[in-house]
């Protein structure tokens, strides 16, 4: 079983929430981590916290849907930390609305960050992975991929990421690269806090109501996702590829 030659990871959307937790987990597991985010200040604060804890981290600002910015951010990580062999496509946005009220901008923005972003990042990083003969890609899907009212754009993007995951697993397996997806259920982050605000509920009440629908009777925390990501990028997960792991406190949303 070949071990990772270069322990360098990139996490997108790592300035806060699930991405920041994954970056912390991977740094704790010995990876030098490139924290890429639209929000430079958040990415820097998250990277600084990792460095203060004894880890190795670098913040890079980018929009994952911009091909030029993706190419230069990946190059910066490769120059400063070494060739990236782990990529977590985590950056995400929501633009929820019922179909009849959904604008073309809402549709395009969500496709741009989730699908185009994951495509551009994976295409840029696979070169380093295949050269090293080892790699791990983890894509953030969602239980919304199974269908969710008010999320025609987001559900479509998250279902699309599952097809993307399985196809990359088939294409890249021969180069020692595994590709998997994590599909979280309700995780307490600014994304779910924004949803609570949109429906006019205090976040604590929103979380309590959600927990009642979840078999383990609690909502998820970013660390619940980070722990699974930590496993999927480990050397020991080398025979797990093309899978979608639902991490939702039960079998479905
Ligand atoms: P979050 O708190 O909103 O964090 C998302 C991060 O992505 C933010 O730092 C955001 O930067 C960044 N981002 C947005 N657009 C970007 C772009 N174009 N380029 C680079 N970075 C960008 O969300 P989260 O809850 O941690 O979610 C992380 C991932 O998990 C997303 O893919 C989400 O769809 C997925 N997910 C979340 C849940 C949940 O319940 N929270 C459930 C299922 C799946 P800004 O701060 O500048 O916007």
Residue 64 in domain: yes
Is residue 191 located within the same domain as residue 238? Answer: no
pLDDT at residue 253, as a whole number? 59
For residue 121 and ligand 1, the question of a CB distance below 6 A is answered with no
Give 128-149 pLDDT, tens digit per residue. Answer: 999 999 999 999 999 999 999 9
Q: Are residues 94 and 207 in the same domain?
A: no
Predicted confidence pLDDT, tens digits, the chain (253 residues): 677 788 999 999 999 999 999 999 999 999 999 999 999 999 999 999 999 999 999 999 999 999 999 999 999 999 999 999 999 999 999 999 999 999 999 999 999 999 999 999 999 999 999 999 999 999 999 999 999 999 999 999 999 999 999 999 999 999 999 999 999 999 999 999 999 999 999 999 999 999 999 999 999 999 999 999 999 999 999 999 999 999 999 997 5
- Nearest Cα residue to atom 27 of ligand 1: 18
Does 104 share its domain with 197? no
Q: Let me know if residue 45 belongs to a domain.
A: yes
Same domain, 197 and 232: no
- pLDDT score for 3: 77
The predicted structure's pLDDT at residue 5: 84
Does residue 59 sit in the same domain as residue 104? yes
**Do 62 and 163 fall into the same domain?**
yes
The verdict on residue 41 lying in a domain is yes
Residues 20 and 54 in one domain: yes
The answer to whether residue 3 sits within a structural domain is no
Of ligand 1's listed atoms, the one at least distance from the Cα of 20 is 26
Q: Ligand 1, residues 73, 77, 91: which to mutate, most atoms within 8 A of Cβ?
A: 91
**pLDDT of res. 4:** 77
DSSP state of 3: P
- Asked if residue 205 and residue 116 are part of one domain, the reply reads no
Q: Does residue 67 lie within any of the structural domains?
A: yes
Backbone angles phi, psi at 7, to 5 degrees: -90, 70
* Residue 17 CB less than 6 A away from ligand 1: yes
* Residues 180 and 191 placed together within one structural domain of the fold: no
Verify that 210 and 228 share a domain, yes or no.
no
Looking at the domain assignment, is residue 2 inside a domain?
A: no
Predicted pLDDT of residue 11: 99
Residue nearest to atom 8 of ligand 1 (CA): 13
Alpha carbon nearest to ligand 1 atom 33, residue: 92
Indicate if 52 and 152 belong to the same structural domain.
yes
**Structural domain of residue 191, as residue ranges?**
186-219
Distance 13 CA to ligand 1 centre (A): 6
Do the Cβ atoms of 154 and 94 come closer than 8 Å?
Answer: yes
Q: Is position 252 within any domain?
A: no
Q: At what angle do helices 17-28 and 222-232 cross, to 10 degrees?
A: 50
Q: Give the nearest ligand 1 atom to 113 CA.
A: 18
Looking at the 3D structure of the chain, how many domains does it have? 2
Check whether residue 213 and residue 126 sit in a common domain: no
Query: Which of 139, 156, 2 has its CA nearest to residue 94?
Result: 156
Give the model's pLDDT for residue 18.
98
Where would I find the H helices in the chain? 17-28, 40-52, 67-80, 104-111, 117-132, 152-172, 190-198, 203-212, 222-232
* Ligand 1 atom closest to the CA of 190, numbered from 1: 2
Is there an atom of ligand 1 within 6 Å of 245 CB? no
- 42 Cβ below 6 A of ligand 1: yes
Residue at 253 is within a domain: no
Record the pTM. Answer: 0.98
- CATH code for the domain of 61: 3.40.50.720
The DSSP bridge partners found for residue 244 are 181
């Amino acid at each position: 079983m070949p071990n990772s030659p270069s322990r360098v990871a990139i996490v997108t959307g790592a300035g806060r929430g699930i991405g920041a937790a994954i970056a912390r987990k991977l740094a704790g597991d010995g990876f030098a981590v490139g924290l890429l985010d639209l929000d430079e200040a958040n990415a820097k604060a998250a990277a600084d916290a990792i460095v203060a804890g004894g880890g190795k981290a670098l913040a890079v600002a980018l929009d994952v849907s911009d091909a030029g910015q993706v190419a230069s951010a990946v190059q910066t990580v490769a120059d400063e930390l070494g060739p990236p062999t782990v990529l977590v496509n985590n950056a995400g946005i929501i633009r929820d609305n019922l179909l009849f009220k959904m604008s073309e901008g809402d549709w395009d923005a969500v496709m741009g960050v989730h699908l185009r972003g994951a495509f551009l990042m994976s295409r840029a990083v696979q070169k380093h992975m295949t050269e090293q003969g080892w790699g791990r890609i983890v894509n953030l899907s969602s239980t919304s991929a199974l269908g969710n009212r008010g999320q025609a754009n987001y559900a479509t993007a998250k279902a699309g990421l599952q097809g993307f995951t399985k196809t990359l697993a088939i294409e890249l397996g021969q180069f020692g690269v595994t590709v998997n997806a994590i599909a979280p259920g309700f995780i307490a982050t600014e994304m779910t806090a924004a949803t609570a605000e949109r429906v006019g509920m205090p976040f604590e009440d929103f979380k309590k109501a959600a927990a009642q629908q979840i078999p383990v009777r609690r909502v998820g925390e970013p660390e619940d996702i980070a722990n699974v990501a930590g496993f999927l990028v480990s050397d020991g997960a080398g025979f797990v590829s093309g899978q979608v792991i639902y991490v939702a406190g039960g079998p479905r949303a």
